[in-house]
Structure formats: C-alpha cells, structure tokens
Amino acid sequence: MDSPGPAIEAEHLSKFYGQVLGLNDLSLTVSMGEVRGLLGQNGSGKSTLLKSLLGLIHPSSGWVRVLGVDVQKAPMEVRRLVGYVPESPRLYEFLTATEYLDFIADVRGLGYEEKKERITRLIESLDLEGKQGETITGYSQGMKQKVAIMGAILHHPKILLMDEPLNGLDPKSARVVKELIHSLAQDGVTTVFSTHVLEIAEAICDRLTILQSGRVLAEGTAQELREKAGLSNSGLEDVFLKLTGTKGVEDIVEALRR
C-alpha cells in the first residue's frame, strides 16, 4: 500500500511587495498529521507563508499544493479543507459568539444537529459558557481569539494553519489549545502554526522551521536544531538566537543601559 503524500508542499515560493521581498525562494514540505512550528523574528515571512499556503496571497513565483490540490488553480477547494486562524482575527463583532459560530457552520455546510453539538462542545472546552450570548465587540482580545479558533476547527479541517494562535489566551485556554493540537494530530490533522514563544514550539511541535528574510534558515526537530547550532544542552532560545545571528539578550540589555 502506498504511503500518503505530503499534506503540504511548497516549492520555490517568492513574494515581492513592491521592492520588498516577503518570501525568497522558499520551499517547505509538511507530512500528514505533523505539527510544524514556524519561528522567526517580525518580518521573517511567517504570516506571508501561511497566507500563501491558503491562497490568500498569490506568490510572485513558485507553487503550493495542499493535500495534492494546487492552491493557485483551486483556492476554494483548498479553503474547504483548511481551518485558518489569522494573527489578528476579524470577526463579525455585532454578532454573539453563538451566532457567529452558527453562521460559520452554515457556510461550511454542517447540518443542524451536528453544528449544535460541535458549537456547544467548543464553548464548554474553551470556557466561554455564560458569555456566548454576548456580542463579540465586548469581548477581550483573548476571548476573540478563542472564537477565531473555534471557527477554524468547527468543520473538522484536515489542515490547520494558525498564526500566533495563543496570543491573548489565559494559561488554561492556551493549555487546552495545545492539547487540542496534539489530539487533532492523532486523528491525522496537520497543523502549521507560527509562534514567538519558543517553549510552546518545543513542547508541541514535531518539527520546527526557522525563517529569516523570507528564507528557510534551519529546519528539524528541536534537538536537531540544537546540534546544528552546536548547543546540544542549551534552551531553544539560545539556539534560535545563535542560528538567526541575533545578539544575545545580555548584549542588548547592556547596550540599552549605556
């Protein structure tokens, strides 16, 4: 029996914003059921890459396939297969959380009983009980983030793309989302998410991709990255700083004190 192909394939992606290069000949392969973390400083290309995988951004060159589907040729088919959490979710804030999720479920084609059961379970799991009938405009940033995550996983996507998904979440909700990603992976769901919290990346990712200036700087498991940096017993933060050529925190603090 043939093994399944990659969940995500991106080859030679480049993206220009005027004269600014957002992605620079970037290639990426993510296996089925894998949890892949994207690490990088602001402007390294993480958000541009995620949007390119979904077809929200058209690369200047290169191609992307998601579950074998060409994103450029069939973007709507890809979006049916994918759940997406943007870095700054834009929700219909005049709706309540229940109304918003009901709307998303209808767009995704879920039946009445199915959507009712899933919405109830998600609201309970992410601690929105008692708040689901209030309009989203009054929610905190963390509560809005929860609603965005619920909307992304409501239709049981095969691929989950998440841009800084834990932003604004309280520790308990962040733990629930981390456990959820693990659970989905066991069901064969592939997750790619960007984060600046290195401990989270190490805790829940199978492999890590470090981006710099729109290119893949390094890739591998956390331990492989340690060995690549020659820091086999160090924390991931030190590894990241060395691989990206960033000054150590102590150097920066000392410079600021002058």
Cβ burial 48-59 (10 Å sphere, 16+ → b, else e): bbbbbbbbbbeb
pLDDT band, residue 1 (cuts 50/70/90) = very low
- Residue 107's SS3 state is helix
Residues of the chain with CATH 3.40.50.300: 8-220
Average pLDDT, the chain: 88
Q: pLDDT tens for residues 195-225?
A: 877 878 888 899 999 999 999 999 998 888 8
pTM for the model stands at 0.89
Looking at residue 247, what is its pLDDT?
Answer: 57
Q: Give the residue among 140, 205, 131, 128 at the shortest CA–CA distance from 172.
A: 128
- Separation of alpha carbons 122 and 130, rounded Å: 13
- If you classify domain 8-220 with CATH, what class do you get? alpha beta
Q: pLDDT tens for residues 44-58?
A: 999 999 999 999 999
pLDDT band, residue 172 (cuts 50/70/90) = confident
Looking at residue 250, what is its pLDDT?
Answer: 57
Cα→Cα distances 75→50, 58, 65, 188, Å: 14, 10, 10, 22
Q: pLDDT tens for residues 119-153?
A: 999 999 888 889 999 999 999 888 899 999 999 99
pLDDT band, residue 8 (cuts 50/70/90) = very high
